[in-house]
Amino acid sequence: MHTQFSYAQEMDQSDVLREYRNEFYVSEKKIYFDGNSLGLLSKRAELATGKILEMWKEYAIDGWTEGEHPWFYLSEKLGEMSSKLIGAKPNEVVITGSTTTNLHQLVASFYKPEGNKTKILADELNFPSDIYALNSQLNLRGLYPDKYLVQVKSKNGDTLETEDIISCMTEDIALIVLPGVLYRSGQILDMKTLTEEARKRNIIIGFDLCHSIGAIPHQLSEWGVDFAFWCTYKHLNGGPGSVGGLYVNEKHFGHQPGLAGWFSSAKDKQFDMEHTLIPAVNAGAYQIGTPHLLSAAPLLGSLEMFEEAGIDKIREKSLRLTDYLMKLIDAELVEYGFTIANPRNDLTRGGHIFLKHPEAARICKALKSEGVVPDFRNPNGIRLAPVALYNTFAEVWHVVQILKIVMAEERYKKYENKRGVIA
């Protein structure tokens, strides 16, 4: 039976990705289930960072054009390495900036209120920083967010209905920004259908892929998505504060970026030093400043593993891990008041499980004291993310057993039901 530890062991033995666990610095004293917040360090990422430092040591200024990974072209190289993860053409992707700076750039570039098409459509479940950025962009144009930002409502506080989003695509919407995967519940939005519906209405649409890239496959170019942006420190294991990424569909190439900068330039024109920008004829045009080399370097190693393993195999294992976790929760933990609030359907479930419990904050503290690293989301959410490249089915089994002990023996009551400074 699946509740027996031997079942988990059998699953691990047949796991085609099991060798990748050895690529990561995995603590034997902890079970790390917070890879959807910060992925673990891999040995390849560490090695790649060392190589960039060696280039600095050996070449100094000439590292921009010499050595194994010339810095002048690194953002585009990493973009090409990322492109298969989102189903994009290599020239449609560039690794640059951060999630929020890239969103600012893309909204500045694609939000063009005109006539009665003046509003931005988002949702009420999105990560706060996206809403901060959208409000800022509206304020900069002298448009009041409470009037010009429309947020799709959730019927249950955890998920969104495709039909509800489409019904909000009214004639006054000029731009749509939505998450690919909801950060709390892990719901995958139907990006293909939403893009088709936006195109019918002549609305530009983009997606925040922070919780989907590296966890699920995408086909952005095929679907006709206009733009996307993401961080690289969650499922992509790029390290704390690693450089973000953006995608722009090739149909938008050749336009001036909304926020122009030094690295928006065409590579062959950048050092002409002219005061008139000639933008790159690819996604590179949406860069602003000089690449952050030491924060991008780990991705050389991390993305190499994604290229080897393939996102389809990663997704297949991820689904099996989360499905196994849900089955164990159903069998062992329901009596303790937990509710599984993420979608159960494979087509709409991202890379993590979302549990709700009134004592969630103190339960997370108790889990940490027992050697399990979860993620608390205010006010009552526990996210558990078994990551395909380095977590095991045995760890899933152990987490559920530890959580059962924490609840049965009420060990969580030793802690205050209040989040820490960083939750």
Percent of residues, the chain, with pLDDT higher than 70: 100
Same domain, 171 and 56: yes
Q: What is the mean pLDDT of the chain?
A: 97
Same domain, 297 and 331: no
Same domain, 287 and 199: yes
Residue 314 belongs to domain with CATH number: 3.90.1150.10
Same domain, 208 and 316: no
Q: What confidence tens digit (pLDDT) does each residue in 48-81 have?
A: 999 999 999 999 999 999 999 999 999 999 999 9
Q: Binding residue per annotation — 129? A: yes
Same domain, 216 and 252: yes
Residue 421 lies in a domain: no
Same domain, 319 and 255: no
Band (pLDDT 50/70/90 cuts) for residue 420 is: confident
Chain center to CA of 339: 24
Q: What is the reported pLDDT for 27?
A: 96
State the Cα–Cα distance between residues 271 and 72, nearest whole angstrom.
Answer: 12
Residues near 268 by beta carbon (within 8 Å), at least 6 away in sequence: none
Residue 422 lies in a domain: no
Q: Binding residue per annotation — 195? A: no
Q: Which runs of E-coded beta strand occur in 239-396?
A: 245-248, 339-340, 353-356, 372-373, 375-377, 381-384
Mean pLDDT of 130-157: 98
- Phi, psi dihedrals of residue 88, rounded to the nearest 5°: -120, 165
Same domain, 216 and 288: yes
On the question of a cis peptide bond just before residue 379, with omega within 30 degrees of 0, the verdict is yes
State the Cα–Cα distance between residues 409 and 332, nearest whole angstrom.
Answer: 14
**Residue appearing with tokens 């009596």:** 335
Q: How many domains does the chain have?
A: 2
Mean pLDDT of 236-264: 97
Q: What one-character DSSP code corresponds to residue 408? A: H
- In three-state secondary structure terms, 123 is strand
Same domain, 245 and 349: no
Q: Binding residue per annotation — 100? A: yes
Residue 63 lies in a domain: yes
Q: Binding residue per annotation — 65? A: no
For residue 128, what are its two tokens? 């706060």
State the Cα–Cα distance between residues 367 and 348, nearest whole angstrom.
Answer: 27
Q: What one-character DSSP code corresponds to residue 76? A: H
Q: What is the reported pLDDT for 419?
A: 80
State the Cα–Cα distance between residues 310 and 401, nearest whole angstrom.
Answer: 31
187: left (phi over 0), alpha (psi -120 to 50) or beta: beta
Q: Binding residue per annotation — 290? A: yes
Q: What one-character DSSP code corresponds to residue 378? A: T
Q: Rg (Cα) of the chain, in Å, rounded?
A: 22
Residue 314 lies in a domain: yes
Q: Binding residue per annotation — 211? A: yes
Q: Binding residue per annotation — 208? A: yes
Mean pLDDT of 343-356: 98
Same domain, 281 and 228: yes
Do 263 and 291 touch, CB atoms closer than 8 A? yes
Last residue of a domain, one of 254, 283, 308: 308
Q: Binding residue per annotation — 130? A: yes
Same domain, 321 and 374: yes
Same domain, 331 and 299: no
Query: 45: number of CA atoms within 13 Å, CB side?
Result: 24
Closest CA to 4 of 252, 246, 328: 328
Residue 105 belongs to domain with CATH number: 3.40.640.10
Element spanning 314, H or E: helix 311-332
Last residue of a domain, one of 263, 290, 308: 308
State the Cα–Cα distance between residues 213 and 7, nearest whole angstrom.
Answer: 30
Q: What confidence tens digit (pLDDT) does each residue in 161-183 have?
A: 999 999 999 999 999 999 999 99
- In three-state secondary structure terms, 411 is helix
Q: Binding residue per annotation — 118? A: no
Q: What confidence tens digit (pLDDT) does each residue in 23-48 have?
A: 999 999 999 999 999 999 999 999 99
Chain center to CA of 117: 29
- In which order are the strands placed within the sheet that holds 339-340? 339-340, 353-356, 381-384, 375-377
Element spanning 404, H or E: helix 393-408
Mean pLDDT of 396-412: 98
Last residue of a domain, one of 308, 335, 355: 308
Same domain, 230 and 121: yes
Statement: residue 1 has pLDDT above 70: no
Q: What is the reported pLDDT for 418?
A: 86
- In three-state secondary structure terms, 231 is coil
Residue 420 lies in a domain: no
Q: Binding residue per annotation — 128? A: yes
Q: Binding residue per annotation — 154? A: no
Residue 38 lies in a domain: no
Domain limits at 378?
Answer: 5-32+310-414
Tell me the one-letter amino acid at 24: F
Mean pLDDT of 342-362: 98
Residue 163 lies in a domain: yes
Do 404 and 3 touch, CB atoms closer than 8 A? no
Residue 42 lies in a domain: no
Q: What confidence tens digit (pLDDT) does each residue in 199-211 have?
A: 999 999 999 999 9
